[in-house]
Chain A
């Protein structure tokens, strides 16, 4: 349930009293309402669901934990002798 996709905020504008962002998802851009994530800024990644941002991706946290996973992946494939 809950198909929510992360995308990058390219632009933010005020429209009818709320902030709307132009968000990029792998080559396609869509307008996304920022009412639920008022602190989001241009350059941030937001997780979006049915046209609304529901969270701001914690880039530092993601980076940190991903590097651990990546190291794990490299180690494992070295041990297996895989390319």
Chain B
């Protein structure tokens, strides 16, 4: 091994001081380091695998059963318990629960991901502007954030769902028809959940912008927009990624929550949440109505949370473990 001291004192012949040792083992990049740390986190790895399986279940399953079948009603088959024809049983109007968990899963996961996209965009933009520019902009944006923060999300959700519920007609994307309520729910969840992220991003920016490398970048003539996006934002990637991951779980839960109250995505479009809605009268008599969608929600949320934990540890630049 060589000592880690500076290897250069004679710039004229640079390569002579380069030892074979170092040539054989190039140092790890940030990405490799992160991956190594993530790999250590067994639970997070298991969670990631579970998530992949869930995605395969929802989207791969769609290739096997058709949506028509998932929405096919046969009242003569109401509340059938699991059997070989209907492995997860049937619901209150005779629809196959297995097929509905597949299509419901697609919607739930899509809602989770897109709502977080909106949340992250809004949260990062508002937080970054407030933290970087400070002063009056900061005051204005943060008071607004607090205002949104102070309204209990569930009331906001219910009111907005009621208000915007019928406003968007059904959409047809790639040959499939979605209830317009899906879009409404995505936006409602996205637009009510950003304040928390905005605060995190603002706090990150407040401390990061005081760093010497920001001054150095300004001394290089770098524009503000470039400093925000290229210099500061990557430094706050860890908390954003973690919060976004956890946000997906939250969005799926929130969707389940309001769909359960009958204000969310409207049938016949299935989601894991609105499948639970019809189940609460049959908690004891037909448990398969809630066990399957409930378990899927639980699994998804749990694995996303564990994944978030793993990412938090792996992305922490202060963590020195390799």
A and B associate: no
